Structure 1
Amino acid sequence: MEFMFMVARWFHVLGGFLALCVFWVPIVTKKGRKTHRRSGWVYVVAMSIVSISALYMGIYRLALDPSFHAEDVPFSWFLIFIAILSGGAVWYGLRVLRYKRRRNTHKHVIDLFFPILLLTFGIAISIYGWMIDFPLLKFFPIIGVFLGGIQLQYWLSAPTRRSHWIVEHIIGMLSCCIATVTAFAVFGAPRLLQIESVSLIIWVIPILIFAPLIFGFTNYYTNKMDGKRSAS
């Protein structure tokens, strides 16, 4: 089991490094073009590896690791939450493209499962964070609650704007970027720099960076595609 954990960790590191290298390419390239699509798929594959390996490592630490210490519990739950957040966000970003021509509500079980999981798990982890007075778990899961609610509302509502799919695609993928950079800031960078702890502000910097990008891109495409008529 320890060998499998080491394999998962190496996959996690390599997938995370690849995601950090390519996540900006789809952001700056023209949407729908070959470079955007190819780099986007590379990012999706990388984040899938990151999400699956993070989920495995978090569960392993909590349930199977004989050398596990109590002080590691909060970070293991954070790792699991990041896995759900990043995996759910990238899945959502892909599925809104798959069903971009829909005109009615969408109730596929798999597409409702992820936002419900993200919403409920985010609430549970936040409550847990308050119970143990752990700032990272108090506030960061609010992102999951917010995104889970947005995704559920989108799937359970009939589209009313032409731009609905591209707006939600941007929200999904850039939300995944938030998870990527936050995980690196909290876990990766301190270990590379041999820093024992990081300030709370480091945890929220990715949100401060990507939230304006999400707002800017969604506002641009909403105005561009909905300027004259709506989806209905």
Structure 2
Amino acid sequence: MIQFLLASHVLAGATALGSAFLAISSKKGSKNHIFIGRIYSLAMFYVVVGAFILSVVRPNPFLFTIALFSGYLVWTGFRRARYRNPVLNKVDKVTAAIGVSIILILFGYGLNLLLSQNSIGIVLIFFGLGMVTFVFEDVRALKSDLYKSKLRIANHLQRMLGGTIATITAVLVQQLVPRIQNTQIPEFVIWIGPTIILTPLIFYWSKRILS
């Protein structure tokens, strides 16, 4: 059972990553983009749910917290794509409240790991800081028409790719970091590598959409 979960989790992650880049390269709002986006959303949903299950079956608090982070970004990204009303509703208010809880979990567990001299806590603090930005934007959106037209689409893109970055980082930290501990490769490179590589892509496409 666990082997099936692991294999399907990896397959779903690869599907999400591939469909993310296909969605970016397709015309926004086209049938292909929408179809690929749905594949991405379903794949990421499976990745997040699978991560929750695996983190319980094989106790892994780190994987659990990253799943919370990724799940929040994918859900809010999906909301921005599907919900076109500039006035956000109760679902978005509850989502923002959950986001605040996730921030507390990321910082709390991250600090606990650092105090226990486990440097992987830096990853959670790093994601916690990013989460503050996303949730602050969501709270601000509850009081304004922030998600009209192009800004809504740019926000959708940022959330979806942010969730992808978090998923890639979690996989690399879990699979590669243990294998390089006795080498000259610093673990920090693995932790921030996906963010450094993919964040410029987010800025590029956001700027292109907003222009």
What 5-or-longer segments of structure 2 have no aligned partner?
Answer: none
| 1:170 and 2:157 matched | yes
Q: Displacement of 1:7 after TM fit?
A: 3.6
Could you list the per-position Cα deviations for residues 37-79 of structure 1 after superposition, in whole angstroms to 9, with x for gaps in the alignment?
Answer: 11111111111111011111112333xxxxxxxxxxxxx2220
- Greater shift, 160-169 or 23-32, is seen at 160-169
Q: Per the alignment, do residues 212 and 183 of structure 1 end up closer, same or farther by CA in structure 2, a change over 3 Å counting? A: same
Cα RMSD between the aligned structures?
A: 2.4
| 1:140 and 2:126 matched | yes
SS at match of 2:109: helix
Normalising to structure 1: TM-score of the pair? 0.76
What 5-or-longer segments of structure 1 have no aligned partner?
Answer: 63-75, 224-232
- Greater shift, 123-132 or 199-208, is seen at 123-132
| 1:83 and 2:80 matched | no
| 1:93 and 2:77 matched | yes
CA distance in 2, matches of 1:153, 1:123: 22
Amino acid at match of 2:8: F
Q: Per the alignment, do residues 136 and 168 of structure 1 end up closer, same or farther by CA in structure 2, a change over 3 Å counting? A: same
SS at match of 1:135: coil
Q: Which residue number in structure 1 is paired with residue 90 of structure 2?
A: 107
Could you list the per-position Cα deviations for residues 134-158 of structure 1 after superposition, in whole angstroms to 9, with x for gaps in the alignment?
Answer: 222223333333333333333x221
Q: Which residue of the other structure, out of 63, 85, 110, is the alignment partner of 1:126? A: 110
Identity of aligned residues (%): 26
Q: Which residue number in structure 2 is paired with residue 157 of structure 1?
A: 143
Q: Which residue number in structure 2 is paired with residue 183 of structure 1?
A: 170
The higher radius of gyration belongs to 1
CA distance in 1, matches of 2:117, 2:134: 24
CA distance in 2, matches of 1:7, 1:207: 29
Q: Which residue number in structure 1 is paired with residue 52 of structure 2?
A: 55
Q: Per the alignment, do residues 86 and 25 of structure 1 end up closer, same or farther by CA in structure 2, a change over 3 Å counting? A: same
